[in-house]
Amino acid sequence: MRHVISLLIENEAGALSRVSGLFSARAYNIESLTVAPTEDPSMSRMTIVSVGSDDIIEQITKQLNKLIEVVKVVDISEAAHIERELMLVKVRATGKDREEMKRMSDIFRGRIIDVTESTYVIELTGNTAKLDSFIEAIDRSLILETVRTGVCGIGRGDRVLKV
Amino acid sequence: MVLTGAEIVIRCLQEEKVEYVFGYPGGSVLFIYDELFKQDKVRHVLVRHEQGAVHAADGYARSTEKVGVALVTSGPGVTNAVTGIATAYMDSIPMVIISGQVPTAYIGQDAFQEVDTVGITRPCVKHNYLVKDVRDLAETIKKAFYLAKSGRPGPVLVDIPKDISAAKCEYAYPKSVAMRSYNPVIKGHQGQIKKAVQLLLEARRPMVYTGGGVVLSEAAEKLIKLVRQLGFPVTNTLMGLGGYPATDKQFVGMLGMHGTYEANMAMQHCDVLLAVGARFDDRVIGNPEHFAEVPRKIIHIDIDPSSISKRVKVDVPIVGDLPEVLEDIAKLLAASGDRPDEKALKAWWKQIDEWRTKDCLKYDRKSKIIKPQFVVEKLYEVTKGEAFVCSDVGQHQMWAAQYYKFDKPRRWMNSGGLGTMGFGLPAAMGVQLAHPGAPVACVTGEGSIQMCIQELSTCKQYRLPLKVILLNNGYLGMVRQWQQLFHGNRYSESYVDALPDFVKLAEAYGHVGMRIEKPGDVEGALKEAFKRKDDLVFMNFAIDPTENVYPMVQGGKGLTEMILSEEL
């Protein structure tokens, strides 16, 4: 099962390596990991997407909690939540492809944020499946490069991850 | 008051009432050594190899309730210390390791004796710090001691660059520390404790299984009280020996890979299991699937939530400090006025006594060659069970665990988790310093002892009258045993040729050496050795090279799939 784990961690040097090191040392999966400071600069928030059985996910959350600098851990995928990922795609856009690429970007509610005579950079946000669908939908041979942030997530409604 | 970083380090150690620092000087810790020189409250023990420093601090911590402290230099000082740190981490031993680092400006430049200490040690410490500002130093050291000792204990490393130990700042030692990200649970959940008591009262084939947590949390007294109140059988893990008195009639021996027949059978066939400060590891329950074949309810008390339901799913998890939780259970039990089913308990004890008649630790007492079990039994008799026993890793470790009856906690020091050969001798040094005048034995093998034998020199310098009990069979015995049993008698690289003359070696280090070849000489030699209160006596026992450790559960097998001695 796929899980989205959110955690708050002290914004200190090496904190990220403690988390990533834990995953590799205990052979847990990481599908994606994002991290940035929160509105309180002394703390960072991390979103980790991992795949594993319930037992493994339980161990992952316990092991994360055990890290001294981790303040709080929540598996936000246990309840209603929102996931977003940002992707930038640089595509070749010449001749008839130029119009087609613009059209696909519009359909996926993307934005073209850089334009040259032969290329576009398209900015797209959404959940992982939506970004995957966009890649599937356009002509692969036109993709010059892609970059994705990985998932960040937040609980719906009153559920709040805070100290 | 304005102090240098090095002065602050020493002040902090004094504040923490550190008696001994085990260490080895080098370039990046010179300022700290200079400050050590100028005072006499914190005594420094100069080892011969950094691994020895960390094991000695570890042995000191295991035999006391205190935090062990080691001090090493950057680069190779740290990498040499890593084995010791990992050893302490696996067994949850409270320690603070202070390491020197190259000056801040040199970090990342591949400077002389530079290594990424925080990176290298990260997976084998409870926590570590690189101090980048001298103003953070005192608080960091305070935190290190607090973290090492509280919750599930463990080693904490503080890496101090050389310029930080020279820099000055205003010093004040914090009285306490609070960390929003670290708050170990002490009090057990009352609802869970109620459930546990209910299960204990309903048990028909109960079993109490306790580990190193009982020793570390000073819970032995509370455990004994509860177990006697219940009348249940109890077993200890290798790390838990001494947590419950081995000579008590409710004790069924150690369990696990080399546990007793009765302990392993009772563990497998119980219907309610109370696990206390233990972690169901592979050397204890064998194959978890085989263990799960018999349905049973499990209550698991541990201060570390991640130890619960890791290898074995439990029914009643209780997170908390063992003495608190055991006390709560005992109180609730007494208040309930109920008793476990006497008849069922009697039948269960009858079954256990039947298993006991197997006499699974039997060995050939008429042998003309010295049997290692005999040496340990005599060691127990001669020291009246009062010695502190440190062991290395291998067959001798298991024989010591099986045949020395530990009645008190903190008397048995061994590397149970990491299985570090070379642990025994330096650990024994730490124990002896913590308990001057007490009998301290290091039970070892000719493989293990050579991994840290240089510490014999340290023993001379500090006049540590250890008794080294070398069970010498000429083989890396445990390896040989596995090769005999599971690799068709192909003894690949397990015979150690060209061993030194250990008697002469001991003498060369300035100690007393003895070689004992006949069973009839064992007791006399041990008596003489322990009479020599001021001397380190190195006793080289020529033991039966073919002797194996039994019972044995092969790796990956079920707990009750034991191989028993050919004597049975």
Residue B275, strand partner residues: B209, B300
Q: How far is A71 from chain B (nearest CA, A)?
A: 4
Q: How far apart are CA A36 and CA A58, in angstroms?
A: 24
For residues B100 and B70, what is the distance between their CA atoms, to the nearest angstrom?
11
Under a CB-based contact definition with an 8 Å cutoff, are residues B553 and B481 in contact?
no
If residue B476 lies in a helix (H) or strand (E), which one and from where to where? none
Within 8 A by CB and 6+ apart from A86, the residues are: A123, A124, A125, A148, A149
What is the C-alpha to C-alpha distance for residues A25 and A19, in angstroms, rounded to an integer? 10
Which residues make beta-bridge pairs with B235? B209
Return phi, psi of residue B46, to 5°: -85, 110
Of B122, B126, B132, the CB nearest to A17: B122
- Tell me, what DSSP letter sits at residue B495? B
Q: Where do we find the tokens 């590891």?
A: B281
DSSP B231-276: T--EEE-TTTTTSS-TTSTTEEEE-STT--HHHHHHHHH-SEEEEE
Q: In what order do the strands lie in the sheet with B467-472?
A: B412-413, B388-391, B440-445, B467-472, B537-542, B512-516
Topology (CATH level 3) of domain A82-152:
Alpha-Beta Plaits (3.30.70)
Predicted confidence (pLDDT) per residue in B121-174, tens digit:
999 999 999 999 999 999 999 999 999 999 999 999 999 999 999 999 999 999
* Average pLDDT for B363-371: 96
Closest CA to B444 of B413, B408, B487: B413
Could you give phi then psi for residue B235, rounded to 5 degrees? -130, 150
- CB B306 to CB A63 under 8 A? yes
Which residues in A lie closer than 8 A to residue B122 (C-beta atoms)? 14, 17-18, 21
Task: Based on DSSP, count helices (H) and strands (E) in chain B, helices before strands.
Answer: 22, 22
State the CB neighbour count (10 A cutoff) for residue B384: 8
Distance from CA of A68 to the nearest CA of B (A): 6
In the structure encoding, which two tokens stand for residue B408, read together? 């008190």
Residues of A in Cβ contact (< 8 Å) with B118: 14
Q: What is the C-alpha to C-alpha distance for residues B295 and B507, in angstroms, rounded to an integer?
A: 58
Rounded to two decimals, the pTM is: 0.96
Question: Distance (Å, rounded) from C-alpha B216 to C-alpha B243?
Answer: 9
Residues B245, B548: Cα–Cα separation, whole Å: 26
> Which of A9, A21, A66 is facing B304, going by the closest CB pair?
A66
CB-based contact, A65 to chain B, within 8 Å: yes
Q: Which residues of B touch A10 (CB under 8 A)?
A: 181
Contacts for B487 with CB less than 8 Å, ≥ 6 apart: none
Report yes or no: B127 at the A interface, CB cutoff 8 Å: yes
Q: With both helix axes pointing from N to C terminus, report the angle between A96-107 and A128-137 in degrees, rounded to the nearest 10.
A: 160
A·B CB contacts under 8 A: 39
Average pLDDT on B29-43 reads 98
Rounded Cα gap, residues B392 and B414, in angstroms: 6
Chain A interface includes B289 (CB < 8 A): no
Tokens of residue A38, six digits: 């929160």
What whole-number distance in Å separates Cα of residue B306 and Cα of residue B101? Answer: 33
Quote the tokens at residue B310: 């890791």
Rounded Cα–Cα distance for residues B433 and B288 (Å): 41
Q: Is B130 on the interface with A (CB under 8 A)?
A: yes
**Residues written for chain B:** 568
Taking the Cβ of residue A14 and every Cβ of chain B, the question of whether any pair is shorter than 8 Å is answered with yes
User: What's residue A163's pLDDT?
Assistant: 87
Residue type, B138: A
The rounded radius of gyration (Å) of the Cα atoms in chain B is: 24
Residue B255 confidence (pLDDT): 98
For B474, phi and psi rounded to 5 degrees?
A: 75, 0
Residue with tokens 């021996």: B253
CATH of domain A2-79: 3.30.70.260
Same fold, A2-79 and A82-152: yes
Question: Is A66 close to B123, i.e. CB distance below 8 A?
Answer: no
Tell me which chain B residues have a C-beta less than 8 angstroms from the C-beta of A68.
126-127, 147, 179, 181-182
pLDDT band at B529 (very low <50, low <70, confident <90, very high): very high
- Which residue, B122, B128, B197, is CA-closest to B160? B128
For B322, the token pair is 């063992």
Q: CB distance B130–A13 less than 8 Å?
A: yes
Strand B68-72 to strand B95-101: parallel, antiparallel, or no bridges (unpaired)? parallel
Residues A103-122 have pLDDT tens digits of 999 999 999 999 999 999 99
**Nearest CB neighbour to A68, from listed B123, B127, B309:** B127
Average pLDDT over residues B503-532: 98
Angle at B474 between CA B394 and CA B444, to 5 degrees: 40
Give φ, ψ of B207 to 5 degrees. Answer: -150, 140
| SS3 assignment, position A4 | strand
The residues of B carrying an active-site annotation are 50, 112-113, 162, 478
Q: B306 and A13: CB-CB below 8 Å?
A: no
User: Which is it for strands B68-72 and B20-23: parallel, antiparallel or unpaired?
Assistant: parallel
Burial class of A79 by CB neighbour count within 10 A (0 to 12, 13 to 18, 19+): exposed
Partner-chain contact A9 B181, CB within 8 Å: yes
Cα–Cα distance, B145 to B148 (Å, whole number): 5
Q: Do A70 and B181 count as a contact with CB atoms less than 8 A apart? A: yes
Question: Residue B568 above 80 pLDDT?
Answer: no
Domain segments of chain A as ranges: 2-79, 82-152
Looking at residue B135, what DSSP letter applies?
Answer: G
Interface check B70 vs A, CB under 8 A: no
Task: Label residue B16 by pLDDT band (50, 70, 90).
Answer: very high
Contacts of B142 (CB under 8 A, 6+ apart): B12, B173, B174, B177
For helices B190-202 and B322-336, what crossing angle results, to 10°? 60
**Cis peptide bond upstream of B305, omega within 30:** no
From residue A42, alpha-carbon distances to A13, B180, B399, B402 in Å are 11, 12, 53, 52
Q: Side chain identity at B3, as an amino acid letter?
A: L
Is residue B408 less than 8 Å (CB to CB) from chain A? Answer: no
Rounded distance, CA B82 to CA B483, Å? 29
CB contact under 8 A, B130 and A14: yes
Say if A70 is an interface residue toward chain B (CB within 8 Å): yes
What residues in chain A have per-residue pLDDT under 70? none
Q: Each residue of B444-489: pLDDT tens digit?
A: 999 999 999 999 999 999 999 999 999 999 999 999 999 999 999 9
Residue type at position B507 = E
Interface test with B, best of A28, A66, A67, A73 (most B CBs within 10 A): A66
Dihedral Cα A46, B92, A59, B316, nearest 10 deg: -130
A141–chain B Cβ distance below 8 A for any pair: no
Contact criterion met (CB below 8 Å) for B441 and B379: yes
How distant is the Cα of A157 from the closest Cα of chain B, in angstroms?
A: 25
How distant is the alpha carbon of residue B336 from its chain centre? 37
Mean pLDDT of B407-421: 98
What do you get for the CA distance between the two ends of chain A, in Å? 28
Q: Is A54 on the interface with B (CB under 8 A)?
A: no
What is the rounded CA–CA span in Å between residue B8 and residue B23? 18
Question: Best interface-test mutation with A: which of B130, B133, B181 has the largest number of A CBs within 10 A?
Answer: B181
Above 80 in pLDDT, residue B330?
yes
Residue of A nearest to B120 (CA): A21
Average pLDDT, chain B: 97
Q: Would you give the DSSP letter of residue B451? A: G
The 3 state secondary structure assigned to A31-61 is: CEEEEEECCCCCEEEEEEEEECCHHHHHHHH
Best mutation site among A68, A162, A163 for testing chain B: the one with the most B CBs within 10 Å?
A68
Question: What pLDDT score does B567 carry?
Answer: 73
Mutate: best of B139, B159, B306, B308, partner A, most A CBs <10 A:
B306
Residue in A with minimal Cα distance to B127: A68
